[in-house]
Amino acid sequence: MEIPEKLIQILASAKRVVVLTGAGISAESGIKTFRDPDGLWSKFNPAELASMDGFMSNPELVWDWYQHRRDIINNSLPNPGHYAIAEMQDLFDNFTLVTQNVDRLHQRAGSKDVLELHGNIIDNYCIKCRHPYEDFIDSNVKEMPKCRQCGGLIRPAVVWFGEMLPEEVLINAERASKISDVFFTIGTSAEVYPAANLPMIAKSSGALVIEINPNLTSISHYLDYSFRIQSGIALPLIVEAIKTYRNKI
């Protein structure tokens, strides 16, 4: 991967950096994305499985689907892309990691203070009294777990379609995007809102926006750089190039 010298210079002196990730960063960890040809949405209907209506009309089906995804995630490991992003938090004075992913692989790679726009698949809570269930719920237990407090149904702590994002998290993500010098959009098709607004908020606030995605996206032509490459290959090279450049000067 050829990284333009000019870009390395800019990255080496950048102070405020934001990284936005999507399902593509976890693809090399063996976790399917949503929209790729063999992605989750090619087999499952998001409205049926990732919405409150879908859950209320068939809680067992939705619960099983999330248990199935949890099993895959629990048997997956972060990849070099996740580790490179974890390194970036020590490379820049002001670094913010925003993710649409619910798999917590960033945290397992060492990233701190991750802004999880769409919640996480590890935790659960009661839909009636919102009692949190952070303890592991055995995926082999077939019947739906019920709330010990009120008997209500328990659901995964993800944000479903039609549901508001955690306000504090979204406000912090938008604020960081507005003041960023450099904004990376990595492994996301930028089709789901309001997450997909963030690269454009950064661009219109004067940031240099860099996309890393083996496929073109709906925002590629708006951006300053768009590299057609896998994040697990590109990110370690970018981190190395910044460190080498800084050691040279």
Residues that bind ligand BV8 (CB under 6 A): 22-24, 27-28, 33-36, 39, 50, 100, 102, 118, 158-164, 187-189, 191-193, 195, 212-215, 217, 230-232
In the complex, minimum distance from the CB of residue 195 to ligand BV8, in angstroms, rounded to a whole number: 5
Among Zn ion, ligand BV8, none, the one that 97 touches (CB under a kind-dependent 5 to 8 A) is none
Distance CA 212, CA 195 (A): 16
- Tell me the residue number closest to ligand BV8, measured at CB: 24
Q: Which residues pair with 215 in a beta bridge?
A: none
Smallest separation, CB 155 to Zn ion (Å): 11
Q: Interacting stretch for Zn ion, rule CB under 5 A, among 41-49, 69-77, 142-150, 177-185?
A: 142-150
Active-site residues: which are they?
A: 118
- Our finding on whether 72 is near Zn ion (CB under 5 A) is no
Cβ proximity to Zn ion, 42 vs 149, nearer residue = 149
Binding to Zn ion by residue 157, rule CB under 5 A?
no
Token readout for 31 is: 């976790």
Minimum distance between the CB of residue 93 and ligand BV8, rounded to whole angstroms? 26
Q: Pick from Zn ion, ligand BV8, none: which does 128 bind, CB < 5 to 8 A by kind?
A: Zn ion
The CB-of-149 to Zn ion minimum distance in angstroms stands at 4
Kindly tell me which residue out of 46, 110, 152, 236 binds Zn ion, with binding defined by CB under 5 A.
152
Residue 41 burial (CB count, 10 A): 14
32 interacts with, out of Zn ion, ligand BV8, none, CB within 5 to 8 A per kind = none
Exposure string of 173-202, with b = 16+ CB inside 10 Å and e = fewer, is beebbbebbbbbbbbbbbebeebbebbbbb
Stretch that binds Zn ion, among 29-37, 100-108, 145-153, 184-192 (CB under 5 A): 145-153
Q: How far is the CB of 13 from ligand BV8 (least distance, A)?
A: 26
Select from Zn ion, ligand BV8, none the partner in contact with residue 74, using the beta carbon and a kind-dependent cut-off of 5 to 8 Å.
none
Q: Which residues bind Zn ion (CB under 5 A)?
A: 126, 128-129, 131, 147, 149-150, 152
